[in-house]
Each structure stands twice: as structure tokens, then as C-alpha cells.
Structure 1
Amino acid sequence: MNKMRLRYLYRLNIFAACLLAACATTPETHFYVLNPLSAPPQAAKAEAPERLIGVGPVTVSALLERRQIVTRTGDNSIASSEFHQWAAPLKEAITETLAQNLSALLPNDIVKAYPWSAYGEMDAHIVIDIVRFESTAAQTAELAANWSLMDDKTLRLVKHGQARIARPQAGSGHTEAVKALSETLQEFGRQLADALLKNNDLEKMK
């Protein structure tokens, strides 16, 4: 009877050890970055920059203030993945990516991400509030943002607007979601560049 009990306890200990080892093994965390636009090869910069443009400050909704990538699963529900995260805080990542996008789209201007104190005073800067920046269960990446263009010389609001952009994902994975989210940010950059190019008040800065 004692031998049977010892054999039973031995097997129980082995099972417990295996269970603890399995619990100790956690999935690998994957980190993601946003893809900016590439500058067109034919873009030629002017000898002197026409304007100094600042991007930021950028704010994101409290829902997005996290490293985990957010997926909207319903009208009133979200899911955040513990093992699929942004490589940098999302607010900073969006600011830097938008600055790169605008640099590619406005080759004759100098575009700097907030804070730009090391580069001196800007001619203008764009204040951005990101309301939505997430993928959905329908495999669509969505961006919603409010923006304001400020004249730094006169401290005046020059123009403001809203952006609502959606891009389909090539698949259901996080890699496809981040690629589609990057595309929404690229389109947002095009809209901001268009506003900068068309605004008559900013023409006076040249």
C-alpha cells in the first residue's frame, strides 16, 4: 500500500512539475512600427526652405493610450492584445510618422515633429487630436482626427478640419492591421499637405 502511495505521489509530482513548466512558458510579444511615405525620387528641394512646418502637439484618445494594439470588436466593445504591441508610445509614433509623410509630400518645406524647440520658431504648426486609430472585426483600419493649422507668426488659427479615413486590411492578422493603419496615416498626411498648399494665408509666409 505504501509503495502504491509513493508511486501515486511520484506521478502527481511529475504532473505538477510539467504543469508549472507549461504555465511558465508565455507567448512571444510582437512589436510593430508604422510605415511612412517614401519621398518621390523626382522631388527636388528648393535652395532655401519656403516654410518651417511643425507637426504637433498630437493627442490620442484615452482608449488608445496603451502599448497594446486595439481592435474594435463591436459598437461598444474593444479588444487589446497583450502580445501584439506598438514598438513606441502611439502618440509619439503617429507624430513622427506624420512628420515624415509631410516631409515627403512637401519637399520644399522643412517639417519637424513636436517638440521642435531645437529648430527655432516655426512658421506654422498643426495641432492634431486622434479620435480613432484602430482596426475593426470587419478587417478595416479606421482613422478619425480633428486638426487645426496655426500661424506661429500671428498666433492665429488659420484653418481647421476633420479627417475620417478607412482602409481595408489584406488579412485578419496584426501585421495586416498595422499596414492598413499606416495607409490611413499616409492619406491623412496627403490631406494635411493639400490644406497647407491651398491655404492662401500661408502663401504669405513664403
Structure 2
Amino acid sequence: MNTANNVGRSLGWLLVCALLLGGCLKPTTNNILYALQPVRQPPLGHDFTTSKELILLMPIQLAPHLQGRGLLTQRTSGEARASANHLWAGPLDQQISQQMVADLKDLLATDQVAAYPGPRYGVIRYQLEVDINEFSGNGRQFITTAVYTLSDSVRKTIVARKTFRQTRPIDKPEYSGYVDSGSQAVADLSREVAAALLSAHRSQPVPPIRP
């Protein structure tokens, strides 16, 4: 009788353990990671091709609601909701910075573009600051708002300060379409910045080299 009870208890414990393990091993919702991708663009000009002076991009500044990892979806109420499972593969400010550096190198036909702090002994000619105030979608459109400031480090002057606003369609309803539109928005911002750099460079003669 005792043997039968012991066997019954053992089977009961085995069943409980199997149920617990089954609960632990249930598939969980996987996170999906996304990264912005540079959009190749032809050069706008070759004014900087032979220059040895740097264009330095300072750290990108994000509005507080953009600083999380979750991709944001704008709701009809005007609030933004961050996805729990669709995440940026890395900090958004760093992704935008990396893409803008790659974009500006293409647009200006030069390798003399770097993100802060840049090369240790690089000579900085222009400094670029970018504040991103909106970078999100609502399923149909992707909205970007940014303020960029371009400074001439040699003359110690601000040569351009402008607001970039764009609402572009999201071609696919999935988050991949959201990210594609975000990548294109950054490319368009870079193109506007590159045009401002060329305009500033052409309007002011290169200062004489200091002895």
C-alpha cells in the first residue's frame, strides 16, 4: 500500500514539474530590432573634395519622448505610444548621427565629415548641431521635425539655423515601412544641410592660413 502511495506521489510530482517546465518553456514574444539605413545620393557639389578641414557633427539631441528604444506610433488623441517589441537596434541619436555622417560624405564628395569628437588632431571648419523634436509615424505618414545650426568655427559665427519639417507617406503598413520612411527623412535632412554647407562655403572666401 505504501509503495503504491509513493509511486502515486512520485508521478504527481513528475506531472507538476512537467507542467511547470512547460510553462517556463512556452515561446515568449521576441523583440524585433530595426536600424536606419543610409540612402545613397549623388554629390551636390565638389567644393569640399580636396579640403583637409573637418565638418564636425555634434551629438544629436533628441526630444525626451524620443529617447526610448521602442518605435513610436502617433495616436489620433495626439499621444505617442512606444512599441514594447519593435525596438531600435541601438540608441536612436547614434543611428541618426551615423546616417548623417555617411549621407554628408556622399553629398559633399568628401571624407572630411565626422561625428563628435572627431579625429584627435583634425582641424574643424564647420560645426553642425541637430535637435530632433519629432521622429515618428502614425501608420500612414512619418513625421520629422528638426532644427539644425551650422557654425563656422574659423570665423566663430553661425552661418545657418533652420527648421526642417517633413511629413512623408509610409509605403508599407509594417514597421519596416516606418523605418524606411525614417531613413529617407534623415537622408532628406542631410541633403538640406549639405546644400546649406555649400552655400555658406561659396559665399565666404576661405580665410588665409594662420602662420
Pick the TM interval, shorter chain. Answer: 0.7 to 0.9
- Which of 118, 126, 129 is matched with 1:127 structurally? 129
Give 3-state SS (helix, strand or coil) of 1:190's partner: helix
**TM-score of the two chains, using structure 2 as the length reference:** 0.80
Letter in 2 for 1:32: Y
Question: What is the count of residue pairs matched by the alignment?
Answer: 200
Give 1:141 deviation, angstroms: 1.2
Question: Does structure 2 retain, via aligned residues, the 8 Å contact 1:148–1:157?
Answer: yes
Question: Does structure 2 retain, via aligned residues, the 8 Å contact 1:53–1:124?
Answer: yes
Match of 1:70 in 2: 72
Question: Does structure 2 retain, via aligned residues, the 8 Å contact 1:196–1:202?
Answer: no
Q: CA RMSD in A?
A: 3.1
Change in Cα spacing, 1:192 to 1:87, as seen in structure 2 (3 Å) is same
**Structure 2 spans left out of the alignment, 5+ residues:** 1-7
Match of 2:4 in 1: none
Structure number with greater Rg is 2
Match of 1:102 in 2: 104
| Structure 2 Cα separation of the partners of residues 47 and 92 of structure 1 | 25
Change in Cα spacing, 1:82 to 1:47, as seen in structure 2 (3 Å) is closer
Written as runs of structure 1 = structure 2, the 5 A alignment for 1:1-206 is 13=16, 18-22=22-26, 25-38=27-40, 40=42, 48-49=50-51, 51-108=53-110, 110-137=112-139, 139-199=140-200, 203-205=204-206
**Structure 1 spans left out of the alignment, 5+ residues:** 1-5
The runs of at least 4 consecutive aligned structure 1 residues that moved more than 3 Å come to: 12-22, 43-47, 200-203
Question: Does structure 1 retain, via aligned residues, the 8 Å contact 2:53–2:123?
Answer: no
Question: Does structure 2 retain, via aligned residues, the 8 Å contact 1:51–1:205?
Answer: no
* Percent of pairs with identical residues: 24
Which shows bigger deviation, 74-83 or 29-38?
74-83
Which shows bigger deviation, 44-53 or 176-185?
44-53
Give 1:21 deviation, angstroms: 4.0
Question: Does structure 2 retain, via aligned residues, the 8 Å contact 1:53–1:111?
Answer: yes
**TM-score of the two chains, using structure 1 as the length reference:** 0.82
Give 3-state SS (helix, strand or coil) of 2:178's partner: helix
After superposition, the C-alpha distances for 1:111-140 in whole angstroms (9 at most, x for unaligned) are 111221525231011111000011114x21
